[in-house]
Structure 1
Amino acid sequence: MTFISYAQNFEDIRLWRAFKFFENGFYIDVGANDPVHDSVTKAFYDRGWSGVNIEPMQNYHDALCQQRPRDTTLQCIASDTPGEVTFYAIPDTGLSTADPLVAQERKDAGFEVQSLTVKARTLTSICEEHAADRDIHFLKIDVEGHEETVLRGMDFSRFRPWILIIETPFERDHTWEHLVTDAGYQSFLFDGLNTWFLAEEHLNLKPAFDLPPCNLDNFQLCFGHLFAHPVSPGEADARKQINAAIQRAERAEAQLLAMQNSRTWRALHTLRNVLRRA
């Protein structure tokens, strides 16, 4: 089946190369934002995966809860200490942040910035509650300047995501990378938007990322993707309805494929054929 990509910078295509043979995988998405638009995890959810979404914005949180019933969606931010913090919301964008300096820069640039009080949790506590006895296949962090604080709240000696995808500024002047490399991860890719890390115990996955996404990946950009389907303002409402219908069909097709590829379905299919011949 053609792989439908929703991610902003082809992240889901790269990940699918490494994980296409895994059933019922698991992800953690810090700064999940919209459940469809620019989502790194939607294509995986449609193929039977599930995970934890961390999203403080009310509208995105509610949409994730509605559209991702298998996922756990937490309305909070990830930080280095639990409690309540000030969060700087920029409505209808992926630019909201917990970093006051980044918030001021965006306010100076003309964005509407709203100060909210939100709950903060450490990634360690979230993993203890929701990922204590399972592999975390990938951890995506997109927090607009708040990366170091998120990473300081994660115990990588106890919880070992196989792959980390961390959105980084174009200047790549971050000071937090040692928190990851000292924990036994190797930086192996910068895709222009994100820095990618592999756990040292999973370096065998690296060849899957040696080439950029190409036609051999048999992928198609989702309807409305910025790179493929520019939408004028006058077409927006009609295209949203069409897009919703297409997404429902894609989700149903993906769920059917996931069911057909499951061990349980194959076993029942084999048993049914045996009974027919009996």
Structure 2
Amino acid sequence: MDFFKWLRPRKRDSEQVSFSQSGEDLIVDFVLSWMGISEISYLDLGANDPLCFNNTYRLYEKGHTGVLVEPDVTLSEAIRKLRPKDICVACAVGVTHDPEVSFYKMSADTLSTTQSNTVDLYEKNSEHRLTLEVKVPQMHINALLAKYFPEKAPIFVSLDVEGLDLQLLEAWNFSRWRPSVICVETLTYSQNKTATKVLDIFKVMELNGYEQYADTYINTIFVNKADWDRRTG
């Protein structure tokens, strides 16, 4: 492959529009193309809005499909309406086998969580407040993978589950499901300048054979080193 063709100026058109918070979907699109992957499935954990700040909508627009997991009933209904070709799973994802858990809806729905300690942190470090607590169904991360990806791992995973990203990665069975690219929120949330990087996420990813490809400050994009090395030599 001619690497330098990727450095040449390219025409800016509608295909260059990003739907992510900080352009993560454009980076993911680029790295998947560079790795020579054209058949793309995805898993969007904590999908939230089906379009805005969404890391998989660009792939959907390009004709790919996947699974979106979102416990907020209003948002899951929007996903089903606006992305009918995707599978929407209206449940929480976790690291226990409890059939249901408490879901804490925040005044900013992007901060809604199943972790009560995360609610406390958000209320301490921001203006956002808890607005509703409800019970929602839950699936263990590996049970969810087994149900929706029984044959092989999704190519791309977007992981943004408030307060639980590290634990999900620690529980993830990477010996069975090894996505080529994973985008993870690696910055804690704060409005008072106390946000920090969750360094243990980087350690877990490295231990499982992933390396950092890009970082947008809020999110980090990791690539499966074996897949990367096979493509670029």
TM bin (shorter chain): 0.7 to 0.9
Which structure: greater helix fraction? 1
Indicate the structure (1 or 2) with the bigger Cα radius of gyration: 1
Question: Which of 142, 148, 171 is equivalent to 1:130?
Answer: 148
CA distance in 2, matches of 1:54, 1:173: 23
Check the 8 A contact 1:79/1:153 in 2, yes or no.
no
Change (3 A) 1:115 1:164: same
Check the 8 A contact 1:78/1:153 in 2, yes or no.
no
Q: Structure 1-normalised TM-score?
A: 0.68
Number of aligned residues:
207
The one-letter amino acid paired with 2:114 is A
Match of 2:5 in 1: none
Match of 1:175 in 2: 200
Q: Secondary structure at the match of 1:172?
A: coil
Q: Where in structure 2 are there 5+ consecutive unaligned residues?
A: 1-12, 188-194
Change (3 A) 1:111 1:201: same
The one-letter amino acid paired with 2:145 is C
Match of 1:186 in 2: 211
Match of 2:129 in 1: 112
Which stretch shifts more, 20-29 or 7-16? 20-29
Match of 2:116 in 1: 100
Check the 8 A contact 1:23/1:49 in 2, yes or no.
no
Match of 1:216 in 2: none
Match of 2:25 in 1: 12
What is the CA deviation profile of residues 223-272 of structure 1, one whole-angstrom value per residue up to 9, with x for unaligned ones?
xxxxxxxxxxxxxxxxxxxxxxxxxxxxxxxxxxxxxxxxxxxxxxxxxx
The one-letter amino acid paired with 1:15 is V
Which stretch shifts more, 190-199 or 25-34? 190-199
Question: Within the alignment, does 1:203 sit opposite 2:228 as a pair?
Answer: yes
Check the 8 A contact 2:47/2:54 in 1, yes or no.
yes
Change (3 A) 1:186 1:22: closer
CA distance in 1, matches of 2:199, 2:74: 30
Change (3 A) 1:176 1:70: same
Q: Secondary structure at the match of 1:5?
A: coil
Check the 8 A contact 2:108/2:128 in 1, yes or no.
no
Question: Which of 35, 52, 64 is equivalent to 2:67?
Answer: 52
Check the 8 A contact 2:40/2:156 in 1, yes or no.
no
- Identity of paired residues, percent? 24
Match of 1:77 in 2: 92
Question: Which of 29, 38, 50 is equivalent to 2:44?
Answer: 29
CA distance in 2, matches of 1:56, 1:175: 26
Q: Structure 2-normalised TM-score?
A: 0.80
Match of 1:238 in 2: none
Change (3 A) 1:88 1:15: same
Q: CA RMSD in A?
A: 2.2
Q: Where in structure 1 are there 5+ consecutive unaligned residues?
A: 208-278
The one-letter amino acid paired with 2:51 is V
Check the 8 A contact 1:165/1:194 in 2, yes or no.
yes
